[in-house]
Structure 1
Amino acid sequence: MSRKILIVGDGLLANYVNQQLSVHYPIIHQNTLEEPLPENIHLALVLHDGSPPSIHHEAEEIFRSANIPWLRGFTSFGEGIIGPYVQPNTAGCSLCADARRFIAGFDQKEMWELQRKYSLKKDAAIQRDVCATQTGLLQMCQLIHAETERILTEGHTSLAEELILLNMQTFQCSRHSFLPDPLCPMCSTIPDDTEAAACLSLQPSFKTNAESYRCRSIEDLNTFLTKDYLDYRTGLLNGKMQHSLLPFADVIVNMPLLLGNEGVAGRTHSFRASEATAILEGLERYCGMAPRGKRTNVHGSYRELEDTAINPLTIGVHTDEHYKKTDFPFKPFDPDYPQDWVWGYSLSQNRPVLVPESIAYYSLGHRDAFVYETSNGCAIGGSLEEAIFHGILEIVERDAFLLTWYAQLPLPRLDLASADDVELQLMIERMRTITGYDLHVFDATMEHGIPSIWAIAKNTKQDGMNLVCAGGAHMEPLRAVKSAIHELAGMLLTMDEKLEANKQKYEQCLRDPYLVTQMDDHSMLYGLPETEERLQFLLNDSRPVQSFKQMNQLRSTDKDLTSDLRHLLDQLHHSGLEVIVIDQTVPLIQKNGLSCVKVLIPGMLPMTFGHQLTRTTGLQRVFTVPMELGYINKPLTFEQLNPHPHPFP
C-alpha cells in the first residue's frame, strides 16, 4: 500500500514539494494545522516560505498525540532550515533544535528573545523571508524530496537530531547535528530523582595503561567528542581556538550560554588531547549547572528531612556580618525554610542522603540559595569511579590552597631538581623561556596525607604580573606539580596584558578588598608588586628545602582505578571526613559512556570567588589542622585568619 503523506503549508515551498512527491505518493495538502487530521498518515511535512510563529510547537503536540513522524522546512533570516525528522515518543524535537540553533548562533540572546516574542503571536501571518527566492525554495524542495524518499523507502534519515541549513543567497548547504535538550518541555523523558536511584556500588574501572589515572584513552574519546558536541551552529560547544603562542598546546573551546559565552580550556602537550580535554571540561560544566539528568521532586525544610539530609551548615556558610547586609545576595540558612533537595550517596555511611539542590548544582541562583556555590568538586570521567576519583582530588587541592592561605602556613619548599623527571625539567625551562616566570612549589599536603602542592610563578621581567598562584593534588606529587604548571603557563601571557590594561582597577582592589568581586580579580590583584608581602609566609627563603622523596607518596601500580579511589576514601575516612557523591550525569553524555559527579566533603574549605562570599563559618579544620600539622601549638581563632582575598586563579 502506498504511504500517505500530509503536507501542511500554503506557500511556494509546500506547492513545490507537493508537485514532486505526488508523482509517487498519495498526498493530502492542508493549508493549516487547524483542519481535521486525516487518517492513515505515514509522514507529515510542515513547510513554509517564512518563519511560522507557533506552528512547530502545535505540530509537535498534534503529531505526537497521533503517533505520526514529521519533518519541517522553513526559511528564517536568509536561511533555509530543514529538519529535524521527529518521531513520536523520542527525544530530539524541533524545540530542542531551535534552542540549540539560537543559543549556539550569533546574537543568541537577541535572537532567542525575538523568537520568543514572535511565537506568542498565534494569529500572525507567515511572512515570506525576503531572501526566499524561487530558486532557493526549489533547492530546498530537492533536499526535502530526497530526505522524504529515504524515510519512506529506507525507513531512516540522517535528519534525526540534525538540521540542514541552506544559505538562500549563496546556496551553500551544511548539515549540523544537535543534542536533545534534557529539560525540553515537549520531549524530555528524564526520570524522577529518587532515593533508590542514588544508591551506588563502586565497580572495577580499569586504567588505559599503568601510567594513567583515566579509564578511556584520548583516541577512544576523540571518536565522538568533536563529532557529538562541537558544532559552530548547533553544538553544545560552538567554537575552538588553538593557542600557538603559549608554552604548551592549549585549546580554548567556547560554551555558548543564553546570556553570553564561557571559555573552557584544555591544557596538555598536544592540541588533539587538549581539544578533547576542553570538550570534556565543557560537558562537565553543562552537567553541573542544573539538574538535567534527573527531575528534582523532594521539597521540604531541613527540620522535616534531617533524618536523611546533610546538615547544610557543615559545608561552610558566610559570616553573620555579611548576611546582615541589605545588598547581600544570599539569606542565612533557616532549618524551617522549605527548599528543593536532591539525592546523593554517602560513601562513608553507605546510604543515600539529601543535599540542597542549590549546593549540588552551582548555577541555579534561585531563592533557596543560602551560600555562593561553585563547580568545586565537579568532575567528568569515562566511568563513575573515575569521575569520583578526580572530583575528590579537586576538593583536596582547593581545600589545601585555602587552608594554607587563611592560616598562612609556612609550607616546606620543594626542590624541583630532586624530582629526577626529564619532562618536568623541560616544562619548567620552557615556561621560563617563553613567559619569563620562575617556578616555586611548596608541599601543601594536609592531615589526610593526599599529596597537594601550592605553586607560584614569579616574574623575572620588568612588566606584567608579579606573582601568579595555582594549586594541585594527586596521588603522585609529580603529577600535581605538572598540572599546576599547565594551569600557570596557560594564564601568564594573557594576564600580563590584562594587568597593564586594568592596573588602576586592581590598585583600588588593593585598598578595598571588597572590590574583589569576580574570579579574575583574585589572581590579578596579586600581579601588583605591592601584594608580594602577603605571600612572604611562603616565599621566605629561611626554611629548609624538601625533596620529592620526602613528600608523601600514594603512587599506585594497580590496574584498577577503583582501588586507587578506595585508597583516597580510606585516607579521608581516617581523618574523619565524609565523602558524598551526587551523580550529575545527563543523557547526552551517558550515551557515550561518560559520567559526571559532584563530590562534597563536608568540613573541607570550598573555593569561592568574591571576597565577601568567603565561606569559613562552621568549618573547624581551618582552626585545628594547622595545629595537627605542627605549624602552631594551639588552634587558631577567627581573628587570626588571613584577612586578604585569596590568590587562587
Structure 2
Amino acid sequence: MDLTGVPAARLDAAVATALAHGRAAVEVAGGMLALAVVGDVVLVGPLAAPDPDEHEPGWDRDPSRERGCPACALAWWHDVSPGSTGAEVGPQAAPVVRDLVLRVLADPPARWRRAVLVLDRAAGTVAVHRFLPHPDCPRCAARWRPTRPVDLRAPQPAEQGLRARLPDRSAVLEHLVDARFGPVLRLRRDEDQPLAPTTADLVVPGRARVEHGSGWSASPARADVLAVLDGLARVLGGYRRPVVPVTVARWDEVADRALDPHTLVPPGTALPEAGTATSWVWGRSTRDDRPLLVPEHVAYAHEHGIGARFVAGSTTGTGIGSTHEEAVLHGLLEAVEHDAALRAWAARAPLTEVLLDEDGEHAAVRALLAARGLHLRVLDVTGDAAVPVVLAVASADDTGLPAVTVASGAGATAGDAIRAAVARCAGRALGWAARGREEDGGRHVVGAAHRDGAGVVAAGGAGVVVRGDGAASERGVGEATEVHLAALLADHRLVRSAADHVGLHALPGARHLSTFLQQPAGAVGEAALDARAGLPTGDVVAALRVLLRRLHGRGTDVVVVDQSAPEVVAAVGLRAAKVVVPGALRLTTGPAAGQAAPHPFG
C-alpha cells in the first residue's frame, strides 16, 4: 500500500485519539482504518473501503470488493467479551500502536477488510483475527428472504450420514473459529477420556451468550465438524436474527395462513384464549406448498416473543446442511428421532432389544464400558415414519455411577441409528465414570466446568455463560452437585436443564424411573430391523422425498423455517432449517405433560 498519502502527523493524531478516548480512524489509501482500545487490548482494523458505487454492475457480488466494517468487528468483540469497556492503554503505548498500523498498511487492503490486528498487552501477544459480518449490523446484515420450497427433483449424491458434503475441518477452522470474534470460540476435547466428543463453544451474536455443540465420531476431524454443526443448530434454532420479520396477531386473525397451535401441544394441554396475541414468523408447508406462519417461540427455542408463549422451547428439528434440502432432511430426522424416543419413554412399555454381534463394530465399546462396570443395551423404538430409531442404554452395576445413561439415534439404516446412539451414550457414560466427583471450590461437582481467560465457562452441555466473578446467567445449566441431584430426585419439578435430566438418571436412587428399559419384550437382529425400516442412502433428495411422502401420506404436514445465516453460508456453505412436525413430541427440558418422570435425554 502506498504510505505517502498518510502524513505522519495524521497517523500520530489518530493513535493518540484512540489511546485517549478508545476510538479513532485514520484515512489511508484504500479507505478508513479503524483503531480501538478496549481495556488493555488494542484493535487495529478493519480497513473499511469507501462506499461502493451501487450503480456499478456486480459491486455487491465481487468478493474483492468486500467493504469491511468496524461496527461488525466491535459487535462481535462485545459478544465474546461482554462488559469490556474503557481505554486503559496509556499514551506510552503510542510507538507500538503506530508500528502495528504500519504493519497493516504494508498489506493489500483486501486482507484487512474482515480482519483485525489485536495487541493484548496483558498477555504480551499480537495476533491477526478474522470476523464475519454481524447479523445485528444495519449496514452489513443480509436482507431476509422467505423460505423457499424444497427441490425434490435434482439429485444430491450423499456421502456418509446422508450428507451431500461435509465441510472440510480446515475450512471450518479458517472461517468460523476465532477465540476473539467467534462465532466458534474454540473446539475442545478431553484427550484422556475414551470416546470423548468434541465440544464446540459458539457465541450467540447480539446476546452475549454461549451455546455448546457436541460432535461424536471415531474420527476426531469429523467430530470437530459435527460439533460445529450441532452448535450452529443450537444458535440458529434458538435465537431469531434481527432481520427476520415478526407478525403479531391473534390466532383467529391468521388461522387461514398459520400453523394450528393445537397441533403443537400434547392433547389436553390448555392454550391461551383465542383472543390472545402472539408473535409469528414465516415458514413454508411442504405438504401444501404455501407460506405458513409459525409461532416465533416454536421456530426459535429461546425467544420469548410477544404475547402468549404456550409451548416449551426446543431446538428439536433444527438441521444443518450444505444445501437447503440437506438441512431439512437432518432437521426432519431429528424430529422423527425425538418423537419416537419420547413416545417410548411416555408409554413405559417393554421394548424390543436389538441384538449386537458379539464381535461386531461395537464390541470394543462394549468391552470399554464393561471394564468400568457398565452394560450396554440397544432398544428399538422405530415409529410410524419407518425410520430406524433406537435407544442405547448404559447401566451400571449396583451402586455404580452413572446408574443409567440413555441416548437416542436415528438414521437411514439401523446401523446408522445404532452407531449414533451408541457413540452418544458411551461417550456420556464414560465421561461420568472418568470424572466422578470433582472438587470445585469445596463442592463436589459432576462435570466440572472449564474456565478460560474471558470468564466463559462450558458446563454440562446446555448453554451457560459465567462471568469473571463466577456468577451464572439466568439460563445456566444448574450445578450438578450431589445436593442438587438429590433435590431433583425428591422433586422432579426442579428439573430445568439438559444436565439435570442426565444427572437425575445417573443417580442409583433413580433406577426405578427407567426399569422398563432393563426388561426387553423380545429381540430383533440388526438386519431384520433394516429390512422393515429405512431410507435410501445414496441421495439426500431421494431420502427426503421418501420421508416426506410417508408423512404426507398419513396427513402430517412438515413445516420448514429457513434459519440460515448468510455470513455462514458465504464462509463455509452451511445452511440451517427448522422443521416443525405438527403432532410430534419435541425434546424439552423440565417436567412435561404425559411423562411419569423426566426423560433421560441430554
Fold match by TM threshold 0.5: yes
Deviation at 1:138, TM superposition (A): 2.2
Which residue number corresponds to residue 56 of structure 2? Answer: none
Which residue number corresponds to residue 465 of structure 2? Answer: none
Cα–Cα, structure 1 residues 293 and 477, in superposed 2: closer, same or farther, change >3 Å? farther
Map 1:606-645; keep pairs closer than 5 Å: 606-611=586-591, 614=592, 616=593, 641-645=594-598
Deviation at 1:414, TM superposition (A): 1.5
Aligned amino acid, residue 69 of structure 1: G
| Contact 2:564–2:576 (Cα < 8 Å) also in 1 | yes
Which residue number corresponds to residue 334 of structure 2? Answer: 394
Distance 2:253 2:83 in 1: 43
Distance 1:3 1:529 in 2: 71
- 2:601 equivalent to 1:648: yes
| Contact 1:448–1:574 (Cα < 8 Å) also in 2 | no
Aligned amino acid, residue 310 of structure 2: F
TM-score, with structure 1 as normaliser: 0.76
| Contact 1:232–1:239 (Cα < 8 Å) also in 2 | yes
Map 1:48-127; keep pairs closer than 5 Å: 48-50=17-19, 52=21, 69-87=31-49, 88=51, 92-104=68-80, 108-111=81-84, 115=85
Distance 1:190 1:168 in 2: 35
Distance 2:482 2:512 in 1: 18
Distance 1:340 1:585 in 2: 20
Which residue number corresponds to residue 316 of structure 1? Answer: 265
- 2:176 equivalent to 1:176: no
Map 1:491-502; keep pairs closer than 5 Å: 491-496=428-433, 497=436, 501=445, 502=481
- 2:140 equivalent to 1:144: no
Post-superposition CA distance 1:571-596 (Å, at most 9, x none)? 22233321111110011221132110
Deviation at 1:99, TM superposition (A): 2.0
- 2:114 equivalent to 1:161: yes
Which residue number corresponds to residue 343 of structure 1? Answer: 282
In the alignment, which of 74, 82, 89 is matched to residue 129 of structure 1?
Answer: 89
| Contact 1:46–1:71 (Cα < 8 Å) also in 2 | no
In the alignment, which of 217, 236, 248 is matched to residue 195 of structure 2?
Answer: 248
Which residue number corresponds to residue 633 of structure 1? Answer: none
In the alignment, which of 231, 237, 247 is matched to residue 184 of structure 2?
Answer: 237
Which residue number corresponds to residue 600 of structure 1? Answer: 580
| Contact 2:386–2:534 (Cα < 8 Å) also in 1 | no
Cα–Cα, structure 1 residues 492 and 100, in superposed 2: closer, same or farther, change >3 Å? same
Report the aligned-residue RMSD. Answer: 3.1
Identity, % of aligned pairs?
25
| Contact 2:296–2:305 (Cα < 8 Å) also in 1 | no
| Secondary structure of 2:258's aligned partner | coil
- 2:573 equivalent to 1:573: no
| Contact 1:580–1:599 (Cα < 8 Å) also in 2 | yes
Distance 1:483 1:263 in 2: 18
Aligned amino acid, residue 249 of structure 2: G
Mean Cα displacement is larger for which, 357-366 or 599-608? 357-366
- 2:315 equivalent to 1:375: yes
Mean Cα displacement is larger for which, 292-301 or 346-355? 292-301
Distance 1:92 1:292 in 2: 21
Distance 1:222 1:293 in 2: 29
Cα–Cα, structure 1 residues 341 and 51, in superposed 2: closer, same or farther, change >3 Å? farther
Consecutive unaligned residues in structure 1, runs of 5 or more: 8-13, 19-30, 32-44, 119-126, 324-331, 617-640
In the alignment, which of 353, 366, 384 is matched to residue 292 of structure 2?
Answer: 353
- 2:348 equivalent to 1:408: yes
Deviation at 1:102, TM superposition (A): 2.7
Which residue number corresponds to residue 273 of structure 1? Answer: 222
Post-superposition CA distance 1:213-233 (Å, at most 9, x none)? 11114xx52241111111112
| Secondary structure of 1:506's aligned partner | helix
Distance 1:482 1:252 in 2: 19
Which residue number corresponds to residue 191 of structure 1? Answer: 143
Bigger helix share = 1
Map 1:451-490; keep pairs closer than 5 Å: 451-460=388-397, 462-490=399-427
Deviation at 1:91, TM superposition (A): 6.7
Which residue number corresponds to residue 55 of structure 2? Answer: none
Which residue number corresponds to residue 250 of structure 2? Answer: 301
Distance 1:470 1:456 in 2: 7
Deviation at 1:373, TM superposition (A): 1.3
Cα–Cα, structure 1 residues 417 and 278, in superposed 2: closer, same or farther, change >3 Å? same
Mean Cα displacement is larger for which, 157-166 or 298-307? 298-307
Cα–Cα, structure 1 residues 138 and 524, in superposed 2: closer, same or farther, change >3 Å? same
| Contact 1:80–1:165 (Cα < 8 Å) also in 2 | yes
Deviation at 1:481, TM superposition (A): 1.1
Work out the number of aligned pairs and report it.
539
Post-superposition CA distance 1:299-324 (Å, at most 9, x none)? 3222121111111221116976xx7x
Mean Cα displacement is larger for which, 383-392 or 516-525? 516-525
Cα–Cα, structure 1 residues 81 and 398, in superposed 2: closer, same or farther, change >3 Å? same
